[in-house]
Chains A and B, each alone.
Chain A
Amino acid sequence: MKEWQPKILAFLCNWCSYAGADLAGVSRIQYPPNIRVIRVPCSGRIDPIFVLKCLENGFDGVLVSGCHPGDCHYISGNYVARRKFAVLKAILEFIGIEPGRVQFSWVSAGEGEKFAQVISKVTEDIKELGPAKRLVKSF
Chain B
Amino acid sequence: MDNIEKELRTVIAKLFEEKKIDLVIGYTKGTLPLVSTPIFLKEEKDVDKLIFDVSCGNNLVKYLKRHRIVNMKDTKVAIIAKGCDGRAIVQYIAEGQIKRDDVLIIGVPCEGVVDPKKIRSKTNGKEVSQYRIEDKKIILKGNDFEISLNKSDVLSDFCLRCRYPNAPLYDIFITEPTKSVGTKDEYEKVNEFEKLTSSQRWQYFENEMSKCLRCYACRNACPMCYCEDCFVDQSNPQWFGKGTDLSDTIIFHIVRVIHTAGRCVDCGACARACPVNIELDLLNTKAGKEIQERFGYTPGLDPDETPAMAAYDAEDKQEFIL
Residues of A within 8 A of B (CB): 48-49, 52-53, 56, 69-70, 76, 79-80, 82-99, 103-106, 118, 121-122, 134-137
Contacts and interface: CB of A to CB of B under 8 A. Distances in A.
A97 B254 CA distance: 12
Contact-size category for B: 35 or more
B305 to A, nearest CB: 15
B321 A96 contact: no
A136 B58 CA distance: 36
Contact of B312 (A82, A87, A94, A122): A82
Given A56-B240, A90-B290, A83 B200 contact: no
Contacts of B240: 52-53, 56
A99 B320 CA distance: 10
A122 B240 CA distance: 26
Contacts of A106: 318, 321-322
Contacts of A80: 312
A90 B203 contact: no
A92 B286 CA distance: 11
A43 to B, nearest CB: 10
A82 B317 CA distance: 9
Interface of B: 193-194, 198-205, 231, 239-241, 245, 247-248, 250-251, 254-255, 257-258, 261-262, 283, 286-287, 290-291, 294-295, 308-309, 311-314, 316-318, 320-322
A57 B121 CA distance: 41
Closest 5 A/B residue pairs (Cβ): A96-B202, A79-B312, A105-B322, A96-B201, A137-B247
A94 B286 contact: yes
21 contacts: A52-B240, A56-B247, A56-B248, A69-B318, A79-B316, A82-B312, A86-B320, A87-B261, A87-B262, A87-B309, A90-B290, A91-B286, A94-B193, A94-B194, A95-B283, A96-B203, A97-B198, A104-B320, A104-B322, A106-B318, A137-B245
Nearest to A107: B322
B198 A98 contact: yes
Main secondary structure of the interface of B (DSSP, over half): helix
Contacts of A93: 198
A138 to B, nearest CB: 8
Contact of B290 (A53, A86, A98): A86
Centre residue among A53, A69, A90, A103 by max chain B CB count within 10 A: A90
Contacts of B318: 69, 82, 86, 106
Contacts of B247: 56, 135-137
Given A48-B255, A86-B320, A91 B200 contact: no
Contacts of B250: 95, 135
Contacts of B194: 94
A97 B197 CA distance: 11
Given A90-B290, A136-B247, A49 B204 contact: no
A89 B320 contact: yes
A96 B309 contact: no
A53 B317 CA distance: 26
B254 A92 contact: yes
Given A83-B309, A137-B247, A69 B198 contact: no
A79 B314 contact: yes
Centre residue among B255, B318, B322 by max chain A CB count within 10 A: B322
Contacts of A136: 247
B318 to A, nearest CB: 6
Contacts of A94: 193-194, 201, 283, 286
Given A96-B203, A137-B247, A83 B254 contact: no
